[in-house]
Amino acid sequence: MKAEVDPSLIVYFGGQYVPLGEARVGILTHALHYGTGVFEGIRAFWDEAGQELFAMRPLEHYERWKQNCGILRIDVPPSPVELCEITVELMRKNAFRTDAYIRPLAYKSAERIGVCPDDEDAFAVVALPYGDYLHSDRGLHASVSPWRRIEDNAIPARAKICGAYVNSGLASDEARRSGFDEAILLNESGHVAEGATCNIFMVRKGRLITPPVTENVLEGITRDSVMELARRELGLEVVERAIDRSELYVCEELFFTGTAVGIAPVVRVDHRPVRDGEIGTAARRMQQVYFDATRGHLPDYRKWLMPVYRSRKTPERDAIPFSGSGDQKADQPGRIAGAQ
Ligand SMILES: Cc1ncc(COP(=O)(O)O)c(C=O)c1O
């Protein structure tokens, strides 16, 4: 997210919709000094054929956010359903007709020195036009990071705690400066945990394998979607088990998943090709089915989507207002349509 953001963008801050330029926090804000915030990342996908913007699993994201805020004792008063309504309204006010990224942030807001947090909390929701996070059209070259994934007993990796992202930042900075696209972090047991900002899947002997949520990983919502799509649409057996580092070098396929990255194939790890160094069949098929599901082209997965313009009603998991859209296909497999 390196592009300049328009200061007239409307954001939700202090309980109101205000221009981004007016959403400011003080220099002594607790979260700024001590990392005591919890954020979320939600995608909205524009379907050109149906002229609709779909928020992807916003209810699950807000449920996870509120749960994770509880770990830091941050209170976010609105319910997940009310937060979905705020989000839809925000995108309508900004009149987005492109892929977007939604960034809710809750934080310890007291303006005083002292590490022990008190009970002053605040939250904001920002939505931005947003295209690719990683350019994975030809597959990524990843490296195993010298940095280890944070332990649950230090800072829980399952929550998107602001301070914890120093760990991801160190790992991805190291990887990029060394010429790689993304870092893979091992946990303190030496097992593969995840990418710096994404979960990881490998194909071995025809089975799709990902580390369980007890391996110090974020409990990814894309991870969950991919497991369901793999079983139901690709007919793959999905296994959650610990992954050794050296399995990365002998597997048949490897890919990252996440709200920002989507489905991002990895074709080289630590200068070794994954199989033949080309994007594999499972990753390609998963990219296509994920694209179709997130643009509302697959009726079975409309349960995940909240339309922004056709209805302001919030999702009730299995009863989401929807009328189908056209037959748009991913013009470039491996690439989520970019924001304009
Ligand atoms: C460290 C980490 N792992 C995994 C993910 C993927 O999670 P999700 O699919 O819910 O976006 C993210 C997403 O931000 C992340 O930061």
205 belongs to the catalytic site: no
State the average pLDDT over residues 117-137.
88
pLDDT band for position 322 (50/70/90)?
very low
Structural contact between residues 325 and 52, judged by C-beta atoms closer than 8 angstroms: yes
Least confident of 23-32, 147-156, 312-321: 312-321
Q: Residue 82 contacts by C-beta under 8 Å, 6 or more apart in sequence?
A: none
Ranges 108-117, 199-208, 305-314: which has the least confidence? 305-314
CA–CA distance, 203 with 237 (Å, rounded to integer): 10
**Structure-model confidence comparison of residues 4 and 150, the more confident one:** 150
Q: What is the pLDDT of residue 311?
A: 62
Residue 338 has pLDDT above 50, yes or no: no
- Mean residue pLDDT of the chain comes to 90
> Best substitution site from 222, 225, 336 to test ligand 1's pocket, by max atoms within 8 Å of Cβ?
222
Mean pLDDT (whole number) for 223-250? 98
- Residue pLDDT, tens place only, 59-116: 999 999 999 999 999 999 999 999 999 999 999 999 999 999 999 999 999 999 999 9
Residue scoring higher pLDDT (131 or 142): 142
Atom of ligand 1 minimally distant from the CA of 160: 16
Cα Rg of the chain (Å, integer)? 20
Residue 41 Cβ inside 6 Å of ligand 1? The answer reads yes
Catalytic member of 66, 93, 108, 160 = 160
Map residue 292 onto helix, strand or coil. helix
Tell which one of 101, 134, 150, 197 to mutate to probe ligand 1, the residue whose CB is within 8 A of the most ligand atoms: 197
CA 48 to chain centre: 22
Give 258 Cα–ligand 1 centroid separation in angstroms: 5
Mean pLDDT of 267-295: 97
**Is the distance from the beta carbon of residue 168 to the nearest atom of ligand 1 less than 6 Å?**
yes
Distances 259 to 24, 42, 50, 102, 134 between C-alpha atoms, Å: 26, 6, 22, 10, 11
pLDDT of residue 3: 58
- Write down the residue that tokens 């609709």 correspond to: 52
pLDDT of residue 336: 25
Q: What are the residues facing 144 on neighbouring strands?
A: 184
**pTM of structure:** 0.90
198 lines ligand 1 (CB under 6 A): yes
Q: Is the pLDDT of residue 327 over 50?
A: no
Lowest mean pLDDT among 122-136, 148-162, 295-309: 122-136
Q: Please give the average per-residue pLDDT across 131-149, as a whole number.
A: 89
